[in-house]
Amino acid sequence: MPKTLLSNSITPRAIYDIEAKIEGYFFLDPADMESFNKILCESAHTAKDKKQMTFYLQKAKYVIDGFTEEQKGQAVLDIGHFIRFYEFLLQASCFEDTELHKKYNFLSYLTAYIRINHGGGGYNLDGKIKVSGFLQKRGEEHKKSKITADPVMKLPTAYDIVLIPAEEERLSQMIREINSRTGKQYDNDVFWHLIVI
C-alpha cells in the first residue's frame, strides 16, 4: 500500500488563518504594501525605487524590532509558514487571491531583509554598498592536490511520519479533491512529499 506523507494539511482556509495571525502583529501597512507591489511590478527599478522599497521594509522591520524576543521569533516563524503555505498552494492548486499575493511579495522581501540584518540570508544590495581603495593580496597557494571526481550526490532524506489510517485516508481524500478541481491525475505516492513546517 503506497504511503502518503504530510506533516500538516494545507488548505486555503489554513492560509487565511495564518494571514489573520500575521495581521494581528500590526506591522503591515496596507498602503505601504500596495506601493511596494506597484514598484515591484515595474519593468525597471531606479535607485530611487529601490530606496523607496527599502523604506517600506524598514518601516515594517522597525515595528517587529519593538517586539519582545519571543514575539519577534514567533512573528518570523509565522511569516515563514505563510510563505511556504502560499507557495505550496500555488503549485498544487488553482488558488488565486490578488491581495494575498501582494502580501506574499512583501513578506518574501521582508524575510530576506530581516535575515540580512541578523546574519545570513540574502537581499539585493545593488547600490547600497560603495567600496573604494580596494586591494586584493595573494595568500597561500596549494598545488598538486588530487581530487577524485564523484558525480553521485546523496540528498538528505526526510524521516517517515507514522499516520493512523484515518489520517492517511484524509490525505488521500485531499489529493482526490485537488485532482478533481484541477483536472490533474496526481498519484498518492509521488504527489505528496514531506513538508517541514
For 98-119, the pLDDT digits (tens) are 899 999 999 999 998 787 555 4
Q: What's the chain look like in SS3?
A: CCCCCCCCCCCHHHHHHHHHHHHCCCCCCHHHHHHHHHHHCCCCCCHHHHHHHHHHHHHHHHHHHCCCHHHHHHHHHHHHHHHHHHHHHHHHCCCCCHHHHHHHHHHHHHHHHHHHCCCCCCCCCCCCCCCCCCCCCCCCCCCCCCCCCCCCCCCCCCCCCCCCHHHHHHHHHHHHHHHHHHCCCCCHHHHCCCCCC
pLDDT of residue 150: 63
pLDDT for residue 94: 79
pLDDT digits (tens, 9 = 90+) for 164-194: 788 778 877 877 887 777 777 766 654 544 3
* Cβ partners under 8 Å of residue 80, min gap 6: 111
Q: How many CB atoms lie within 10 A of CB 168?
A: 17
Task: Report the amino acid identity of residue 193.
Answer: H
User: Which parts of the chain sit beneath pLDDT 50?
Assistant: 1-7, 119-123, 125, 128-131, 134, 190, 192-197
For residue 79, count CB atoms less than 10 angstroms from its CB and return exposed for 0-12, middle for 13-18, buried for 19 or more. buried
What is the pTM for the complete model shown?
0.56
